[in-house]
Structure 1
Amino acid sequence: MDIIEFINKNKRDIWMIIRNIELSNEKLLLEKVKSNFPILKVRDELKQKYPKKQEYPKGVKYVIEVYPFDTEKFQLAVSGETYPIKEKLKEKGYRWYADAWVKTIDFMSIEDEINKMLEMLQGAVVIIK
């Protein structure tokens, strides 16, 4: 089994380990992990750009949640008052899953996708997980 196969087979465990490292004070180890997983650097940049919100804000029409999906992709979930725009979301490649419209996006394209959605969903709030 090569390293890519191993990573793809054990994504959930890898993300749990990364999360534990982030919560620890092992800064040197965290930097080493981030150098091997560029998606983490992109996520950190997004967290700097968008205000930190952890919960669904009241009185907001749309919420765009962004979180790492695997080692090279983000999942973007759009929720809120989406029924009137569901056809537009389908056209843009989103699919309904549980209680949100979701799309998996390569980590290099995530910022462009967020900007497109912010343009389409005026007044939306972005939450980076």
Structure 2
Amino acid sequence: MLPVPTDLFVVFRRTWSHLSGFGPLIGLILLCVTGTLLNPDFATLDNLMNVLTRTAFIGIIAVGMTFVIMSGGIDLSVGSMAALIAGCVIPVYESLHRKSPGRRGVGGRCSRWCWAHCLVPCMAC
């Protein structure tokens, strides 16, 4: 014979069924709390903006893939295209940031343009 569920068991089961959909959110909150306890600089606005800036590229690709999958198609070339574009853009970005001896040259103008129009700080200067 199976044991008869007690009131506590029923309450736990209902609570777990409501919280099971929030598993990833609870995990994210636990990771953030752990990161803050280990390093107080983790929960700063600068770090949050840095994380959002670094992951925006992946987020844009994920939104695009969501639309492709919702429309009934599937496209596996997104990752390879992202790698190809990054591989082509990096040499161009580096060539614009080459410095002449004693002055900034084109790199300074490119850096100011990136900051003014894209809010992206120059990482090569």
Q: Flag whether TM exceeds 0.5 (same fold).
A: no
Q: Structure 2-normalised TM-score?
A: 0.23
Structure number having the greater helix percentage: 2
